[in-house]
Amino acid sequence: MPAAPRSPARPTSGPPVDAGRRRGRGAQSNRAGRYETEKREDFDDGWESLAGLEAFKTEVRIEPARSIIATNDSPDISFDKSINPYRGCEHGCTYCYARPTHCYLGHSAGLDFETILYAKTNGAGLLEQELSRPGYAASTIALGAVTDPYQPIEREHRITRAILDVLDRTSHPVGIVTKSALVVRDIDILARMAGRGLVKVAVSVTTLDRRIARRMEPRASTPERRLDAIRMLSAAGIPTQVMVAPIVPALTDSEIERILDAAHAAGARDAGYVLLRLPLELKELFREWLSADFPERASRVIGLLQSMHGGRDYTAEFGMRQRGSGPYADQIALRFRLALKRLGMNERRLKLRTDLFQPPVPRGGQLQLL
């Protein structure tokens, strides 16, 4: 859908935004996206004209989506269908590879991504329609493949829960990825689905250091609350995985074994990881954040990252983009494998059931005879 006009109080280029205006946010600036034909920048005209600018506030725009199930044929991911109830993400994770997607809407991948959000409020109804189509074949739908389905605005809009209700009623398999403890709100639905082999949940734990987490993921659940979520989901019989993602070299990579130990103790029996990815606008946004919050580590982080991508910040090739290559990438992979073996994780191969799927009855339609 066409992007709504940006507020004139939002600069789209220039230096980092004043800390007071972006308090509680991840990005340092609001750099213009690659599709914009003009740039706007705040400047002081000598009359203290910047002093009265408002802080960046979360703005939720209702988006009547035209379709809800997205498909892909990427060979390096485990699903071909996904649903994202929201565009943008209030968690404000500085490393989020999804930030550049906001540029398609005429927004910045910086502060706009975490403050101008779109809610697909008709998502559950659209899902029923799409599952009702003749010839639809059920396969696992990934919920939250781009932006988090349990970001803070889900508390009010409840789109994710409505979508889960449709999947539960139709016995359709779903895999969830989140870094929010809000997922435990839906344990009632998830436990029912788990009893039929229809769901698995992956909780992302990037670091156990609250100081780093606060700076890197300002509005996401604390590491302790994510581990609590793993514990509660597992106790309810819901297959739960920990995602050590992303691994940031020279910043969080030393924690791999500790994160896996903590997640295993909480009940997770499967684990995966993804290395830091810096596509498109994220290259500069992440550098800005590093320079501001971890200046003493900035050159080391970028140097190691580039060593895993052939001297570049990012390699988009399938298979390479999430794991990298070279000695440092190999070392991370080996450490991960050894930790999994020690803990006995990833020994099961959970395959969600598709044979139970029952298409919903279209509104005004007839029940199926067979």
Q: What is the DSSP string of 175-214?
A: EEEES-GGGGGGHHHHHHHHTTT-EEEEEE---S-HHHHH
Q: How far apart are CA 109 and CA 189, in angstroms?
A: 34
pLDDT tens, position by position, 140-189 = 999 988 999 999 999 999 999 999 999 999 999 999 999 999 999 999 99
Crossing angle of helices 327-343 and 298-307, in 10° steps, is: 90
**15 pLDDT band (50/70/90 cuts)?**
low
Tokens of 298: 């900035």
Long-range contact pairs involving 228-232 (C-beta distance under 8 Å, separation at least 24): 228/181, 228/184, 228/266, 229/180, 229/181, 229/183, 229/184, 229/203, 230/203, 230/263, 230/266, 230/267, 230/268, 231/266, 231/267, 232/184, 232/187
Q: Is the pLDDT of residue 9 over 60?
A: no
Architecture of domain 59-343: Alpha-Beta Horseshoe (3.80)
Q: Is the pLDDT of residue 369 over 80?
A: no
Report which listed range, 9-13, 36-40, 41-45, 349-353, is most confident: 349-353
Q: Where are the domains of the chain?
A: 59-343
Q: Is the pLDDT of residue 329 over 90?
A: yes
Tokens of 84: 């994202």
**370 pLDDT band (50/70/90 cuts)?**
very low
Residue 71: how many other CB atoms lie within 10 Å:
10
What's the whole-number average pLDDT of the chain? 91
Length of the chain, in residues: 370
The whole-number average pLDDT for the span 90-113 is 96
Q: How many CA atoms lie within 13 A of 72 on its CB side?
A: 16
Percentage of the residues of the chain whose pLDDT score is greater than 90 = 79
pLDDT tens, position by position, 275-321 = 999 999 999 999 999 999 999 999 999 999 999 999 999 988 887 88
**116 pLDDT band (50/70/90 cuts)?**
very high
Q: How far apart are CA 227 and CA 179, in angstroms?
A: 10
Cα diameter, the chain: 76
| Residue 52 amino acid letter | G
